[in-house]
Each structure stands twice: as structure tokens, then as C-alpha cells.
């Protein structure tokens, strides 16, 4: 038996706009992601990747179909439930979104303290351990402005993973990085995902990092057109 899926999506549709302007953006998406899996999502601009990612992250309400996070249904979920789910997910964006007036350690520590009741001493120890895991043990007291792009992104990874979330969503995490830094960043994500059993869903246009994926799924015009694992074309009934 496989473990419970972290994400289970069935017959998901999504629309933007209302009335005559209503436009369908996602069509009958079916996708499951399991613990420890690294799934890369590719596809042309406008194909619906960010929309799907934001639905999975509980940042947008599900309109039609089913989307479960660890068995909890997001369709029809209350705002409170969505907030709870958002707290169990790590996010990494193209722009690292670090707070510039906090040091690397303080940026990570804030994520720890927002998520659990923990003494300051333990929060500091946990944050420093995570920064060591991403190779920044000599940069814990640096401010983001004094770190390179790759280093900043590594702080963002430490922040996303410090609470050991079951799922990390990453939107173009290497877009602003040179080849070597991009490579380093995804290899760190890969190693930590393996160590912690974290599932990672990573949206990218960066062909240089496709080989770190266990699976590659491809969006095309709002359809999940290819899945390297199951090699199905969407539009199965989801049964």
C-alpha cells in the first residue's frame, strides 16, 4: 500500500471572471502527490500553473471538483481551515521575499515562532541548524542585502522547511539565479525533501533542473497534458 497522498486532486475546474466574462482556466485536473516526491510542473506562460499552485496552497478557493490536503477537503473549507492548511505548507517564490531588516537567522526564526510555541532559545537553535543544513552556517547574522542571490534563496529554503512541512510549493525558485546557484539551490531542496519526507511541487521554466524531479507534469491550455509517471493524458473520468 502507498502512503496517504499529500495532495489528491480530482476533476478540478477553475474559472476567472463573471457572467459573459467568465473564462475557464483549469480543465478537469487530476493529480496526486505523495510524501517525499519531487514533482516539477512545466508548461507555457498562461497555461494555468500559478492558478493551480495557488489552489493547492489554499491561497484561492476551490470552485469545482475536489482538492484534498492530507485527506482534508479544501473545497468548501472555512477560512480558518484554509489558514491552518497554509501554515502546514512551505512556500518558496522567485523573489525570495525575505525581510530586509531581519538577519538570515531572524528570517528563519520568525517562521518557527509563528508556527509553534517554543522558547526563543530553541527557536534560535532550530533556525541555526536549518541554516547549517543549507550551507549558511557562516552567514546566520548577515542581512539579506549582504547575501548573494543564491544565498538569499537558500535562506528562503531554510525558512520554508524549518517547520518540517509535509509539502513545499516553489514557484520559479531558480529564475533569478545563475546556473551554478540555481543548481545548488535545487539540490539542497532535493536533499532536504528526501531527509524529511517532504513533497515538493516546483513550477519552473528552467530546463537545467528537470533532472532533480521524480516526476514531471506538464500543463497546456489549462489541461494537465502529460505526467511522466503515469503517462496519461488528462480527461480520464477520475473514477
Ligand X SMILES: Nc1ncnc2c1ncn2[C@@H]1O[C@H](COP(=O)(O)OP(=O)(O)OP(=O)(O)O)[C@@H](O)[C@H]1O
Provide the binding-site residues for ligand X, judged by CB under 6 A: 16-17, 25, 43, 45-51
Nearer to ligand X, 48 or 90 (CB): 48
- Minimum CB–partner distance for residue 48 and ligand X (Å): 4
Toward ligand X, which CB reaches closer, 186 or 188? 186
Helices (H) and strands (E) in the chain, counts: 6, 10
Cβ proximity to ligand X, 45 vs 207, nearer residue: 45
Angle between helical axes of 104-115 and 149-161 (0-180°, round to 10): 20
Q: How far is the CB of 25 from ligand X (least distance, A)?
A: 4
Q: Least CB distance from residue 171 to ligand X, whole Å?
A: 8
Over the range 121-152, which residues count as b (16 or more CB within 10 Å of their CB) and which as e? eebbebbbebbebbebeebbebbbeebeebbb
Shortest Cβ 45–ligand X spacing (Å): 3
Cell of 54: 495557488
Comparison of 128 and 227: residue with beta carbon closer to ligand X: 227
Q: By C-alpha distance, which of 67, 111, 58 is closest to 86?
A: 58
Amino acid at each position: 500500500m502507498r502512503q496517504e497522498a499529500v495532495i489528491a486532486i480530482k476533476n478540478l475546474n477553475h474559472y476567472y471572471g463573471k457572467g459573459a466574462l467568465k473564462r475557464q482556466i483549469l480543465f478537469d485536473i487530476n493529480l496526486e502527490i505523495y510524501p517525499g516526491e519531487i514533482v516539477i510542473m512545466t508548461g507555457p506562460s498562461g497555461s494555468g500553473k500559478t492558478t493551480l499552485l495557488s489552489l493547492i496552497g489554499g491561497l484561492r478557493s476551490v470552485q469545482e471538483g475536489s482538492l484534498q490536503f492530507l485527506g482534508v477537503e479544501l473545497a468548501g473549507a472555512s477560512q480558518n481551515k484554509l489558514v491552518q492548511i497554509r501554515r502546514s505548507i512551505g512556500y518558496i517564490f522567485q523573489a525570495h521575499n525575505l525581510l530586509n531588516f531581519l538577519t538570515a537567522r531572524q528570517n528563519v526564526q520568525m517562521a518557527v515562532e509563528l508556527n509553534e510555541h517554543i522558547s526563543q532559545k530553541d527557536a534560535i537553535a532550530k533556525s541555526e541548524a536549518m541554516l547549517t543544513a543549507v550551507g549558511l552556517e557562516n552567514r546566520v547574522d548577515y542581512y539579506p542585502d549582504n547575501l548573494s542571490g543564491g544565498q538569499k534563496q537558500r535562506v528562503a529554503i531554510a525558512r520554508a522547511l524549518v517547520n518540517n512541512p509535509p509539502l513545499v510549493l516553489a514557484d520559479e525558485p531558480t529564475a533569478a539565479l545563475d546556473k551554478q546557484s540555481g543548481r545548488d539551490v535545487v539540490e539542497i531542496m532535493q536533499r532536504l525533501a528526501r531527509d524529511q519526507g517532504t513533497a515538493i511541487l516546483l513550477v519552473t521554466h528552467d530546463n537545467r533542473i528537470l533532472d532533480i524531479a521524480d516526476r514531471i507534469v506538464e500543463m497546456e491550455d489549462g489541461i494537465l497534458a502529460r505526467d511522466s509517471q503515469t503517462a496519461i493524458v488528462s480527461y480520464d473520468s477520475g473514477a
